[in-house]
Amino acid sequence: MPRELRYQLLWGHRYGFIDVAVRAGAPILPLACVGADELFDFVGDAYARGKRWLHTEGLPIPVPSRVLPIPHRVALRYVIGEPLSTRGVDPDDDAARRRLRLEVEGALHELIEVELARRAGLAYP
């Protein structure tokens, strides 16, 4: 993944996981994999390339920086956050769905930042 896109959530306007969890009454469990974005080096914006080549949104076409996409040796670490409740969220209320998605995004960003800080040797409360 290009360095400028590493550890960013590229969800676009997708709410499918929110809708499924709310309708099922199931909590959302934030899970992040730190290291996965460093396995391969790609060049350019894969999403812009997909839009340009396929004339559609949301389908990335990654291009490796070398002829063969050889993975780097990177330790993968999975971190799991606290479950986020979906109780009381109306599946037809767009504002409530948006708030829940922002809560999930915030939880994931926090998990990633804490793990990256830990990996860099920084003490994080």
Model pLDDT for residues 66-125, shown as the tens digit of each residue: 777 777 788 889 999 999 999 989 989 999 999 999 999 999 999 999 998 988 888 665
Rounded-to-integer distance, Cα 92 and Cα 44, Å:
38
pTM over 0.85: no
Measure the CA–CA gap between 22 and 89, rounded to whole angstroms.
7
pLDDT tens figures, 22-48? 999 999 999 999 887 777 767 777 778
Alpha carbon distance 51, 40 (integer Å): 21
